[in-house]
Amino acid sequence: MRIDILTLFPGMFQGPLSESIIQRARERGLVEIYVHNLRDFAHDRHGTVDDYPYGGGAGMVLRPQPLFEAVETITGGDSSVPIILLTPQGRLFRHQVAQELAGHDRLLLICGRYEGVDERVREHLVTDEISIGDYVLSGGEPAAVVVVDAVVRLLPGVLGSKESAVEDSHASGLLEYPHYTRPRVFRGWPVPPVLLSGNHAQIARWRREQALRRTMERRPDLLETANLSSEDKKFVERVKRGSLPSA
């Protein structure tokens, strides 16, 4: 996969894109990531890419000319490349969206800034708009890092184990079950005996039930769309009725 990022602040990506899983994926040739400075596509010596909004109002707006020229140059006019604007007005970024984006060969992410972009960019240039949450950031750069991280880890061969990606929180529609490691007892708090039993069927069942219970407690809204078996539904009902002890 190739990912291009268009931004006013390329330096914000130096750390996040050169560490951990993303860096290893780049070194192994599983993903190419290029960061482009939007000011390189301005037509004046000051690199001006924004202007005052027509009709008045506070703040500045990114002009259409540098954005259109940047995208056309980077993509080479390839209309199949998804052009994604990171904006609080976009659709909410979820695991399913990350899976969708990971299915493309290329992505181009535009980091919004200031009061936003000229509306003609939305109408005639971008193909998608994504928000990572209902809060305000100074710009789209942190959101772009989130999207890149979530997408790259889903690419074939990036993670050492398929299972680690499948069992992560939200990957199955539920929050992930609790994890424990050594020592068996820490400050008087023991590891649940079932995890020490060696019975893989019991362990799998315990983990599934813990994932269901945790999702009920912290994100009950996720249960509405999660793929639940008949056994899962029975367990949920028993927890709701209080017929099971607390975890």
Amino acid at 215: T
Catalytic residue among 63, 113, 153, 213: 153
Q: Is 153 a catalytic residue?
A: yes
Exposure b/e, 52-88, CB count within 10 A at least 16 = b: eeeeeeeeebbbbebbbebbeebbeeeeebbbbbbbb
Q: How far apart are CA 49 and CA 194, in angstroms?
A: 60
Q: How far apart are CA 35 and CA 17, in angstroms?
A: 10
Strands 83-92 and 106-111 turn out to be parallel
Contact predicate 63/32, CB 8 Å? no
Q: Is 115 a catalytic residue?
A: yes
Cβ count near 47 (within 10 Å) = 14
Catalytic residue among 88, 94, 122, 178: 88
Catalytic residue among 40, 69, 168, 232: 168
Q: How far apart are CA 125 and CA 159, in angstroms?
A: 33
Catalytic residue among 69, 115, 149, 176: 115
Exposure b/e, 97-123, CB count within 10 A at least 16 = b: bbeebbeeeebbbbbbbbebbbeebbe
Catalytic residues: 88, 115, 153, 168
